[in-house]
Amino acid sequence: MEDESPPSQGVSTKVLEATLLSALKMLDVGKWPIFSLCSQEELKLIRQACVFGSAGNEVLYATENDEVFVLGMNCSGCLGTGDMQSTIEPRRLDSLCGKKIACLSYGSGPHVVLATEEGEVYTWGHNAYSQLGNGTTNHGFIPCQVSTNLVNKKVIEVACGSHHSMVLTSDGEVYTWGYNNSGQVGSGSTANQPIPRRVTSCLQNKIVVNIACGQMCSMAVVENGEVYVWGYNGNGQLGLGSSGNQPTPCRIAALQGIRVQRVACGYAHTLVLTDEGQIYAWGANSYGQLEPDDHLTVAQSLKKEFDNPETADLKFLVDGKYIHVHKVLLKIRCEHFRSILSNDDEIIEMSEFSYPVYRAFLEYLYTDNIRLPPEDAIGLLDLATLYGENRLKKLCQQTIKQGICEENAIALLSAAVKYEAQDLEEFCFRFCINHLTVVTQTQGFAEMDHDLLKNFISKASRVGAFRN
């Protein structure tokens, strides 16, 4: 790849651009090394966290009362604290407190682009190429709102290249700004763009539903599943069958007839996920990121596994660690993706969930179905809640309802209360009332949580369960 960029590492293979969201339960952030700097009291208050930086050594997080704090290294002022001082103690960002954070992206320049649930956009960090969108080339040490050309626009998604930025609005419009040596802002020229401008050309009358940036290229998925690309193409990362740069959006003809749902970009390669659960990849392949497991695609390998439950457990190698792959795969930078291994006896780290739960979740993402007993469906319900998979939550509740019996009714009721599954809670409660004599003699009832028992008895009394 020719070095057409300013001095930079580009989009690092270790960038952790994951946004961990959970409105229904406390986040388990303890596995991120950066959070070892926080006290247990501080960790308990975290509702939302964004880990970023070249080695996952910077974090922005929001608490239950929408206060925003940052912690860690402070590369080029990317903590937004007004200075370049790193911090091992959480520092409050007053300019973002009270703002509900919707999404965040990190460019390796480095700079940060953030959108709130209200659709406002804030940027800070390195700005030598106007990637902050404020019309200047002055570095930004605190989050500042980007309003030019975005007034009355609600931004729902953000993406960063190494030195350019892109946002998607709720009405399906794309705006870009920043470094443009290879046409990555899609304006038709190679002049840098100091403020947000809408990307038009063949996107003029299209509704965009998803965006992504590589180091010096940009991608957009429109509502009919077509993918449009522009910018640097020296490694074929645009998927156009050539290596020439593209200054305006161009549809990927090779995906004709394939309906794409999401696109993700690495430093110099691209992945897309189709509505049939297939993944297509193209671009640079210096780390084997395009050809896992003897040239099988991810979707093919998954189908092979799911069609034959007797095969060895499926294992995924990501940056040297064996993990289970789910939708976060498309949110984390593609450079994490290395290969898929079969028939390997390495132990997979299960975290707090069992292997059947993780496997069922992965199978659901590629088949829209689940196959597991009601007891495991409880754990899957937890995972579905964590990742906001509402349809999966409904499937879990159906599985639990079909498998309820006197012996497990209390355990299922407890799970429904814990995961705020109100419909399931009412179903389990009614089952317990209808089988009250047997249920009250089970081990589960004897070991019932005190508060849950108290509420159960109170509610049962109100419906006349203890009347003669």
pLDDT single digits (tens) 281-296: 898 887 777 754 433 3
Max mean pLDDT range (236-250, 321-335, 357-371): 236-250
Residue 302 has pLDDT above 60, yes or no: no
Helix axis angle for 390-402 and 422-434, nearest 10°, is: 10
**pLDDT tens digit sequence for 446-467:** 888 888 888 888 888 888 876 6
Query: In terms of domains, do 239 and 381 share one?
Result: no
> How many domains does the chain contain in total?
2
Query: In terms of domains, do 60 and 88 share one?
Result: yes
Residue 266 counted as domain residue: yes
Whichever domain contains 440, its CATH number is 3.30.710.10
**Averaged pLDDT of the chain:** 79
Residue 467: per-residue pLDDT = 64
Percentage of the chain exceeding pLDDT 70:
76
Instruction: Report which of residues 389 and 437 the model is more confident about.
Output: 437
Residue 1 counted as domain residue: no
Residue 66: per-residue pLDDT = 92
Residue 412: per-residue pLDDT = 87
Query: In terms of domains, do 284 and 424 share one?
Result: no
Q: How far apart are CA 247 and CA 255, in angstroms?
A: 20
Query: In terms of domains, do 220 and 318 share one?
Result: yes
pTM recorded for the entire structure: 0.61
Of the residues 314, 341, 368, the one at which a domain ends: 341
Q: Residue 438: which H helix or E strand, with range?
A: helix 436-439
Residue 268 counted as domain residue: yes
Residue 349 has pLDDT above 50, yes or no: no
Query: In terms of domains, do 330 and 259 share one?
Result: yes
Residue 25 neighbours by CB distance under 10 Å: 13
Query: In terms of domains, do 247 and 395 share one?
Result: no
Specify the pairing of strand 246-251 against strand 269-274: unpaired
Mean pLDDT of 289-305: 45
Tokens of 252: 């990927």
The parent domain of residue 395 ranges over 355-462
Residue 141: per-residue pLDDT = 95
Q: What is the DSSP string of 41-90?
A: HHHHTEEEEEEESTTS-EEEEEETT--EEEEE--GGGTT-SSS---EEEE
Closest CA to 111 of 64, 177, 65, 171: 177
Residue 365 counted as domain residue: yes
Of the residues 318, 341, 364, the one at which a domain ends: 341
Query: In terms of domains, do 384 and 326 share one?
Result: no
Of the residues 312, 341, 370, the one at which a domain ends: 341
Residue 6 counted as domain residue: no
Residue 221 counted as domain residue: yes
Query: In terms of domains, do 189 and 315 share one?
Result: yes
Query: In terms of domains, do 312 and 407 share one?
Result: no
The mean-pLDDT minimum among 93-97, 224-228, 231-235, 289-293 falls in 289-293
Task: Report angle CA 197, 52, 272 to the nearest 5 degrees.
Answer: 65
Instruction: Report which of residues 400 and 68 the model is more confident about.
Output: 68
Residue 351 has pLDDT above 70, yes or no: no
Residue 12 counted as domain residue: no
